Amino acid sequence: MTMPFADSNHDALWLPFTANRQFRDSPRMLVSAKGMYYRDDKGREVLDGCAGLWCVNAGHSQPRIVEAVQKTVATLDFAPAFQMGHPLAFEAADRVARLAPNPLNHVFFCNSGSEAGDTALKIAIAYHRLRGEGTRTRLIGRERAYHGVGFGGISVGGISGNRKLYGSLLTGVDHLPHTLDLRRNAFSRGLPEHGAELADDLERIVALHDASNIAAVIVEPLAGSTGVLPAPKGYLKRLREICTKHGIVLIFDEVITGFGRLGASFAAEKYGVVPDIMTVAKGITNGTIPMGANIVSDEIFEAFMQGPREAIDLPHGYTYSAHPIACAAAIATLDTYAEEHLFERAAALTPYFEEAAHSLKGAPHVVDIRNEGLVAGIELAPRQSKTTRAYEVFERAFNEGLLLRYTGDILAISPPLIIEKNEIDRIFETIGRILKSID
């Protein structure tokens, strides 16, 4: 039996992205999970409205994944990743590459979305240098972007709260404008109509610095953590065209959008826009074991394979790159997605989910509702108070047995893809009821 919260030393654990002292006043403790539900330390069932942290796409404790992890930990607990291989690593890479669109055929494993982001930026800069274009070092991110918490990720990221404490960050970084436009796009269903032209800002940055100094552009196809901003129609295609025209590496951060969240394997597939590098994590193992990856184009990979055969081609990697247990979890996860047709299921459920989300239009405090695939964001009017309305909804919902995410004034809903329609109803009914009861 685990120790009750009241009996443990609360100061030993420093929770990430958490108001730790506020948390200790009213702790939320999860002790088990199965399917669509957590159970908390008071024995209450908690409906998972956000797939843990946008990652448990197949639902919790999937037997196939549990079994693969258990078997592997007892068979090959660890294998060094440098100058050594193991069969699960090759199989997992092959499976991931096969799921990704052509020509993204090469997989470099790491352990998180943050590591995947920093790895992608390093690969892009090194790629240009290996091709004799070593002046291409500038990196372009986007306002409101989230690419994890490494120095690379926060430098190209655009959430000021995640950057302001940490000094000068990487130099040589520019940001595209974010794509949220409540005036023109509020209450859009799916991709917003207006804003493709915001991609043209890349031309302004190219005019300022010259393409010969620019290595890469990184964007989330749907910005998740900042509060669910689907890309405007045509935006990603325009960005692709401008990157191609100027020889700039295009990186899609598919850490949230990958593995079925939008009703397709990847956003790149759904929108028919293929980047040069894709970063993934989260759903790659259904959240069971930490894992991230870069999925890299043939052209970029080949550029690294030109030097002497005995030379290390990419001086980069992690002790736990392609960890055997993570690889086993990834293979079992991809099997589960395929056998249970979960990406198709997400696509089929999208209209129902969209309708349910937009039923909150007109509810108190709601200034926008955004959705795409099985993701929705509900933006609330700000108020003069120490805690945002979204936090209050999050806290009350948890006390009513529903787990949500919130960021600032925005609620984010991204359930496991196994969700049933009555559970979708429950999520939005609960939010609607709580909204009526707060000031």
Ligand X SMILES: Cc1ncc(COP(=O)(O)O)c(C=O)c1O
Which spans of this chain sit near ligand X (rule: CB under 6 A)?
A: 112-114, 117, 146-148, 220, 224-225, 253, 255-256, 281
Q: What's the full length of the chain, in residues?
A: 439
| Sheet with strand 410-413: strands edge to edge | 366-372, 375-380, 410-413, 405-407
Q: How far is the CB of 42 from ligand X (least distance, A)?
A: 28
CB closer to ligand X, 157 vs 232: 157
- For residue 109, give both structure tokens: 């494993």
Residue 119 Rama label (left phi>0; alpha psi -120 to 50; beta) = alpha
Q: How far is the CB of 309 from ligand X (least distance, A)?
A: 34
Q: Which residue is nearest to ligand X (CB)?
A: 113
CB closer to ligand X, 356 vs 377: 377
Residues 6+ apart with CB under 8 A from 269: 101
Q: How far is the CB of 76 from ligand X (least distance, A)?
A: 24
Q: How far is the CB of 245 from ligand X (least distance, A)?
A: 26
Q: How far is the CB of 157 from ligand X (least distance, A)?
A: 9
Select from 5, 55, 19, 14 the least CA-distant residue to 403.
Answer: 55
CB closer to ligand X, 256 vs 332: 256
Taking the C-alpha atoms of residue 375 and residue 412, their distance in angstroms, rounded to an integer, is 7
Q: How far is the CB of 54 from ligand X (least distance, A)?
A: 6
Q: Which residues pair with 218 in a beta bridge?
A: 251
Q: How far is the CB of 358 from ligand X (least distance, A)?
A: 24
CB closer to ligand X, 128 vs 261: 261
CB closer to ligand X, 18 vs 135: 18
CB closer to ligand X, 281 vs 402: 281
Q: How far is the CB of 278 from ligand X (least distance, A)?
A: 11
CB closer to ligand X, 281 vs 380: 281
Q: Which residues of 262-296 are buried (b: 16+ CB within 10 A; e: fewer)?
A: bbbbbbbbbbebbbbbbbbbbbbbbbbbbbbbbbb
Q: How far is the CB of 376 from ligand X (least distance, A)?
A: 16
Residue 239 Rama label (left phi>0; alpha psi -120 to 50; beta) = alpha
Taking the C-alpha atoms of residue 417 and residue 51, their distance in angstroms, rounded to an integer, is 8
- For residue 197, give both structure tokens: 């032209």
Question: What number of other Cβ atoms are within 10 A of residue 5's Cβ?
Answer: 12
Burial class (CB in 10 A: 0-12, 13-18, 19+), 310: exposed
- 375-380 and 410-413 as β-strands: parallel, antiparallel, unpaired? antiparallel
Please report which helix (H) or strand (E) contains residue 10, including its range. none
- For residue 46, give both structure tokens: 């908690």
CB closer to ligand X, 286 vs 430: 286
CB closer to ligand X, 59 vs 290: 290
